[in-house]
């Protein structure tokens, strides 16, 4: 580990200068950051990539409630700089070892009139910039309320953007691709009096915001290490193309409550002329703190099946009965007639455990096992679930023993119906219950309106809630998969038990809505996945929902082969084989890929990518010589050529190619695939044709 303090200069003299500027370069010299103090004492920055100004002069600062703003009137008190070059091994991940090489500039500023100090910390990597505000402990700034953050990203050009509306309460939206000037963030969002404050105007979008400039630069604006602060959305000046940080408010309209010493999350800008550099970047992770968990032996990536898709396609239910005035405690279930569709029965769970054991899956998720689902959704009740009372037809004790006998883990499900207060009160009991019955992991869920009432999914209170849950789970040696949380920002480095989040529009939308268009999965890696793994729940083989009910028009908007490719292109250490066992049993040859594919990797190579169009990635399975390749396209067909030069020289491997059949098409013929086996070496290349909305998965086994 290299860790050299390059210079430590005290700029006492600077205090008398009215303007100031200093430039630092990234380790490879491609990026240059210029920090400035403008005439009125406002801190500002600029970012240059090769010969283009990616970010023009952009102001920094904060508005505080009931006190002078931290915006202008600053002088420099001190400048520190640092060179960092070290490596670290993640507990699990896309690669075995991550290199963190960056140059840091830390500027301590004093506001002359108020004698308040802030520190601006910049870290410049080869592929981007991270910066944050730090507030040292001090007499004149001990606690404060942020009413607005003024951070600007002055793009100055009408880039093409891949965006979802600036909804403070959900990220489960379809992406649009338009120039910045044509964004309308109210489209497709149902605004009524209750949800009105989720959307504040057409020029608001969520971060990460992926963009492409007219001269081919890929630019992404996001944040890293979001703790104890609201999520950063973006407000767009649609004439001048200046983005401004827009923090998610709390119930009374404040943004963040701060007590020094404290800091904001990192604001991040990724830039490259290669789209694959954006995907391969580890900058977000490098900006997060090292693991807080000392012993991580118990943290294990998992592939799982579950009692889940049946509920989404409507053949099974979460609830045991239809309606009834149910109480959480001491309820007489014999007074209710079961609806005959309950998925989480002892018998059905055993069937899933058997299926998992037979096909080598690590876990079985069971949703709808606990009482409360009769009226869980869209209600105003604070206490919907207690997380410890199984339905009468779910024998948790017997199932725990049965799963252990088959060497299969049960995965817990805690739908909170967004009543975070209720969950916080019951977490200790809920996690003790998991320990007692041997569940190593939990999938949480936050469907609906947040309680505490008026709080939002992406506000400071909820951001802290998700972290508290991850921390408490870690204390109990339990792993987490959070659905409907704020989108991740690399915190899985700090809490490696936090395996995955949903926090975007998952595959489930294909079961019961207009679904996810064929380009959706080519955009997510450039947006949502930059912050961390997604529990997208791939692997749907029965593509059309009219199979379950002839009146249904819904369908998955991919071919079957593309569903296989998603195990590679949607990186996650937690992957579900989401379809019903009976659907896999009809296609055991294609199912073999899901059985074989790894969930933890020594290496990953992004071979080609274009946001909204296509993506091909090759990954080397942990502690093996086996490679797996996934390639996907949008609604356009595509031929891709994969050079196998990453294989070890002088070795022969068996490649199994799971491809779209010649006449496959996501809409017209989605389930047509072909499987080809051949011997390959590092000298070979594979040419595959992807159907419209199609994909290809390849296993290369030594
Ligand atoms: C939404 C989640 O994304 C889904 O996976 C889950 O089945 C339902 N909520 C019920 O908790
Ligand atoms: Ca969801």
Identify the nearest ligand to the CA of 484 by its number.
Answer: 2
314, 367, 413, 538: residue to mutate for ligand 1 pocket, most atoms within 8 A of CB: 367
Across the beta sheet with 62-64, what order do the strands follow?
Answer: 62-64, 143-149, 256-259
- pLDDT, tens only, 643-674: 999 999 999 999 999 999 999 999 999 999 99
For residue 678, report the distance from its CA to the centre of ligand 1, in Å: 40
- Ligand 1 centroid to 483 CA: how many Å? 7
| pLDDT for the residue 191 | 59
pLDDT in tens, 451-475: 999 999 999 999 999 999 999 999 9
Q: What value does the mean pLDDT of the chain take?
A: 95
Contact call for residues 14 and 76 (beta carbons, < 8 A): yes
Dist. CA 501 → ligand 2 center (Å): 10
Give me the domains of the chain, ranges plus CATH numbers.
2-286 (2.70.98.10), 300-503 (3.20.20.70), 508-523+540-548+579-702 (2.60.40.1180)
Q: Is the pLDDT of residue 7 over 70?
A: no
259 Cα to the center of ligand 1, angstroms: 36
Please state the atom number of ligand 1 nearest to the C-alpha of residue 318: 10
pLDDT at 17 over 60: no
Instruction: Using a pLDDT cut of 70, give the percent of the chain over it.
Output: 96
Can you tell me the mean pLDDT for 260-270? 98
399-415 exposure pattern, b = at least 16 Cβ within 10 A, e = fewer: beebbeeeebbbbbbbb
| Mean pLDDT (whole number) for 267-286 | 98
Q: What is the pLDDT of residues 496-507, one digit of tens each?
A: 999 999 999 999
Strands of 326-408, DSSP E:
363-366
pLDDT of residue 185: 86
Ligand 1 atom 6, closest CA: 445
Average pLDDT over residues 179-205: 76
pLDDT at 195: 55
Give CA–CA dist 321/139, Å, rounded.
Answer: 60
Residues forming the active site: 508
pLDDT class for 198, splitting at 50, 70, 90? low
Tell me what the mean pLDDT of segment 664-686 comes to. Answer: 98
Look-up: residue for tokens 């659905």?
483
Residue whose CA lies nearest to ligand 1 atom number 10 = 415
Block residue for tokens 């296989």: 564
Q: Which ligand is nearest to the CA of 308?
A: 1
DSSP state of 665: B
What's the pLDDT score for residue 422? 97
Residue 6 pLDDT greater than 50, yes or no: no
Q: Which ligand is nearest to the CA of 447?
A: 1
pLDDT number for residue 5? 44
For residues 47 and 59, give the distance between their C-alpha atoms in angstroms, rounded to a whole number.
Answer: 12
Ligand 2 centroid – CA 511 distance (Å):
12
Q: Which atom of ligand 1 is nearest to the CA of 483?
A: 3
Per residue in 69-119, pLDDT (tens digit) is 999 999 999 999 999 999 999 999 999 999 999 999 999 999 999 999 999
- pLDDT per residue over 388-447, tens digit each? 999 999 999 999 999 999 999 999 999 999 999 999 999 999 999 999 999 999 999 999
How would residue 197 be classed by pLDDT, with cut points 50, 70 and 90? low
Q: What is the pLDDT of residue 513?
A: 95
**Ligand 1 atom having least distance to the Cα of 537:** 5
- Report the pLDDT averaged over residues 5-30: 67
Closest Cα to atom 3 of ligand 1: 483
Nearest bound ligand to the CA of residue 309: 1
Average pLDDT of the segment spanning 267-281: 98
DSSP label at 689? E
Mutate which of 172, 373, 387, 483 to test ligand 1's pocket (most atoms within 8 Å of Cβ)?
A: 483
Q: Which residues are near ligand 1 (CB < 6 Å)?
A: 308, 367, 415, 445, 447, 483, 502, 506, 508
C-alpha distances in angstroms, 288 versus 42, 106, 455?
28, 17, 26
Instruction: Give the confidence band of 9 by pLDDT, cuts at 50, 70, 90.
Output: very low
Asked if pLDDT for residue 200 goes beyond 90, the answer is no
Summarize pLDDT for 221-239 with one digit per residue, the tens.
999 999 999 999 999 999 9
For residue 196, pLDDT over 60 is answered with: no
Ligand 2 ion: nearby residues, β-carbon < 5 Å: 483
Q: Return d(Cα 570, Cα 529) in angstroms, integer.
A: 8
Q: How far is the CA of 373 from the centre of ligand 1 (A)?
A: 12
pLDDT of residue 1: 43
pLDDT > 90? residue 192? no
pLDDT digit string, tens, across residues 564-622: 999 999 999 999 999 999 999 999 999 999 999 999 999 999 999 999 999 999 999 99
């Amino acid at each position: 580990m290299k860790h050299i303090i390059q210079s430590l200069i005290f700029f006492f003299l600077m205090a008398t200068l009215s303007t100031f500027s200093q430039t630092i370069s990234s380790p490879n010299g491609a990026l240059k950051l210029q920090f400035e103090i403008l005439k009125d004492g406002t801190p500002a920055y600029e970012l240059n990539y090769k010969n283009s100004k990616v970010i023009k002069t952009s102001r920094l600062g904060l508005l505080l409630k009931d006190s002078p703003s931290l915006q202008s009137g600053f002088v420099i008190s001190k400048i520190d700089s640092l060179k960092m070059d070290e490596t670290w091994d993640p507990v699990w991940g896309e690669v075995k070892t991550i290199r963190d090489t960056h140059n840091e500039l830390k500027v301590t500023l004093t506001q002359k009139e108020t004698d308040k100090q802030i520190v601006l910390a910049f870290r410049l990597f080869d592929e981007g910039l991270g910066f944050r505000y730090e507030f040292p402990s001090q007499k004149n700034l001990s606690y404060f309320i942020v009413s607005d953050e003024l951070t600007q990203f002055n793009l100055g050009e009408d880039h093409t953007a891949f965006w979802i509306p600036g909804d403070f309460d959900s990220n489960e939206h379809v992406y649009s691709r338009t120039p910045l000037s044509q964004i309308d963030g109210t489209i497709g969002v149902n605004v009524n009096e209750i949800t009105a404050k989720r959307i504040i105007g057409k020029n608001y979008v969520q971060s990460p915001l992926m963009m492409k400039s007219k001269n081919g630069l890929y630019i992404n604006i996001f944040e890293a290490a979001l703790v104890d602060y609201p999520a950063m959305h973006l407000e767009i000046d649609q004439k001048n193309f200046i983005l401004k940080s827009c923090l998610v408010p709390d119930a009374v309209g404040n943004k963040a409550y701060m007590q020094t010493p404290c800091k904001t999350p990192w604001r991040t800008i990724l830039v490259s002329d290669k789209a694959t550099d954006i995907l391969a970047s580890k900058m977000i992770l490098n900006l997060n703190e090292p693991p807080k968990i000392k012993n991580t032996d118990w943290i294990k990536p998992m592939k799982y099946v579950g009692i889940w898709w049946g509920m989404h396609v409507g053949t099974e239910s979460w609830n045991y009965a239809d309606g009834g005035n149910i109480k959480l405690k001491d309820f007489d279930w014999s007074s209710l007639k079961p609806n005959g569709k309950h998925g989480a029965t002892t018998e059905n769970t055993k069937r899933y455990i058997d299926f998992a054991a037979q096909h080598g899956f690590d876990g079985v998720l069971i949703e709808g096992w606990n009482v409360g689902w009769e009226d869980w959704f869209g209600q105003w009740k604070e206490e919907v679930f207690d997380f410890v009372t199984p339905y009468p037809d779910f024998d948790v004790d017997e199932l725990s023993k049965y799963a252990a006998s088959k060497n299969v883990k049960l995965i817990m499900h805690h739908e909170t119906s967004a009543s975070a207060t209720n969950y916080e009160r019951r977490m200790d009991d809920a996690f003790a219950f998991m320990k007692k019955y041997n569940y190593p992991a939990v999938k949480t869920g936050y469907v609906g309106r947040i309680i505490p009432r008026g709080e939002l999914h992406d506000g400071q209170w909820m951001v802290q809630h998700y972290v508290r849950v991850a921390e408490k789970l870690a204390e109990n040696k339990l792993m987490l998969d959070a659905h409907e949380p704020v989108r991740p920002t690399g915190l899985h480095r700090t809490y490696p038990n936090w395996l995955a989040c949903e926090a975007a529009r998952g595959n489930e939308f294909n079961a019961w809505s207009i679904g996810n268009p064929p380009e959706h999965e080519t955009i997510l890696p450039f947006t949502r996945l930059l912050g961390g793994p997604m529990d997208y729940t791939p692997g749907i083989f029965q593509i059309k929902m009219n199979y379950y009910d002839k009146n249904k028009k819904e369908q998955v908007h991919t071919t079957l082969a593309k569903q296989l490719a998603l195990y590679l292109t949607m990186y996650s250490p937690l992957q579900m084989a989401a379809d019903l066992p009976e659907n896999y049993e009809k296609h055991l040859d294609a199912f073999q890929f899901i059985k074989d594919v790894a969930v933890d990797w020594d290496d990953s190579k992004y071979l080609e990518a274009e946001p909204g169009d296509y993506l091909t990635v090759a990954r080397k399975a942990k502690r093996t010589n086996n490679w797996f390749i996934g390639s996907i396209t949008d609604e356009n067909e595509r031929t891709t050529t994969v050079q196998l030069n990453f294989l070890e020289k002088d070795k022969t491997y068996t490649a199994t190619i799971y491809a779209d059949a010649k006449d496959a098409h996501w809409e017209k013929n989605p389930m047509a695939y072909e499987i080809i086996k051949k011997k390959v070496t590092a000298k070979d290349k594979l040419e595959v044709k992807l159907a419209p909305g199609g994909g290809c998965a390849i296993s290369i086994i030594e």
